[in-house]
């Protein structure tokens, strides 16, 4: 296992550390499609599931799982929109449609940044606590010398 400093150095050299997908994966634990969907929603409001399935060429269930996880992380909002309003938004000519569909948008970017900082602070505090209690690990070892 590479040390964190080696991993960060490698990522910085490859200019990969600041790509959004890597940050989302590292900080939030998002997979590739979840990162792509979130990135798209940051730039586009009121997007429905079918738009995302067409855009990312994924099946509907994969997109819905991604949206569900992003919702659980409180990164996106889901709202009901009338089909008439949606048709007008997309420029469709038939605005006599009835019914509703769900559309998704990213939370305010300022709030997302705060959430990222809070998560990083929490991780940092847990690592400091781990380091402070490191001596306790050496008090616990198994007969073959392995740490508990």
pLDDT digits (tens, 9 = 90+) for 95-119: 677 888 899 999 988 988 898 889 8
Number of domains comprising the chain: 2
Determine the Cα–Cα distance for residues 140 and 132; give it in Å rounded to an integer: 16
Q: Could you say which DSSP state residue 44 is in?
A: -
Q: How confident is the model at residue 8 (pLDDT cuts 50, 70, 90)?
A: low
Query: What is the pLDDT averaged over residues 6-20?
Result: 64
Higher pLDDT, 98 or 93: 98
Phi and psi at residue 63, to the nearest 5°: -65, -40
Do 61 and 73 fall within a single domain? yes
The CATH code of the domain that includes 62 is: 1.10.10.10
- Does some domain include residue 17? no
- For residue 16, name the pLDDT band (cuts at 50, 70, 90): low
The yes-or-no verdict on residue 144 having pLDDT over 70 is: no
Give yes or no: residues 135 and 73 share one domain: no
Instruction: Read off the pLDDT of each residue in 75-102 and give the average, rounded to a whole number.
Output: 81
Note whether 101 and 131 are same-domain residues: no
Enter the tokens of residue 90.
Answer: 């997309």
Q: Which domain holds residue 123?
A: 108-148
pTM for the whole thing? 0.71
Residue 120 lies in a domain: yes
Question: For residue 148, is it within any domain?
Answer: yes
Confidence of residue 77 (pLDDT cuts 50, 70, 90): very high
Q: How many residues does the chain have?
A: 148
- CA distance between the termini of the chain: 18
Report if residue 19 sits inside a domain. no
Q: How confident is the model at residue 1 (pLDDT cuts 50, 70, 90)?
A: very low
Residue 47 tokens, joined: 């997007």
Instruction: Centre a 10 Å sphere on the Cβ of residue 80 and count the other Cβ atoms it contains.
Output: 9
- How far is residue 25's CA from residue 116's CA, in Å, rounded to a whole number? 12
Percent of the chain with pLDDT over 70: 78
Q: What is the pLDDT of residue 59?
A: 94
């Amino acid at each position: 296992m590479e040390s964190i400093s080696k991993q960060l150095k490698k990522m910085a050299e490859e200019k990969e550390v600041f790509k959004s997908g890597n940050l989302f994966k590292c900080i939030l634990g998002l997979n590739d499609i979840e990162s792509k969907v979130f990135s798209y929603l940051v730039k586009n409001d009121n997007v429905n599931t079918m738009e995302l399935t067409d855009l990312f060429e994924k099946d509907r269930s994969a997109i819905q799982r991604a949206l569900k996880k992003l919702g659980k992380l409180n990164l996106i909002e889901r709202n009901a929109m009338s089909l008439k309003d949606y048709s007008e938004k997309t420029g469709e000519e038939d605005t006599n449609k009835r019914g509703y569909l769900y559309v998704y948008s990213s939370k305010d970017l300022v709030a997302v940044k705060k959430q990222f900082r809070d998560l990083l602070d929490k991780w940092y505090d847990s690592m400091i606590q781990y380091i402070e209690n490191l001596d306790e690990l050496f008090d616990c070892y198994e007969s073959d010398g392995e740490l508990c």
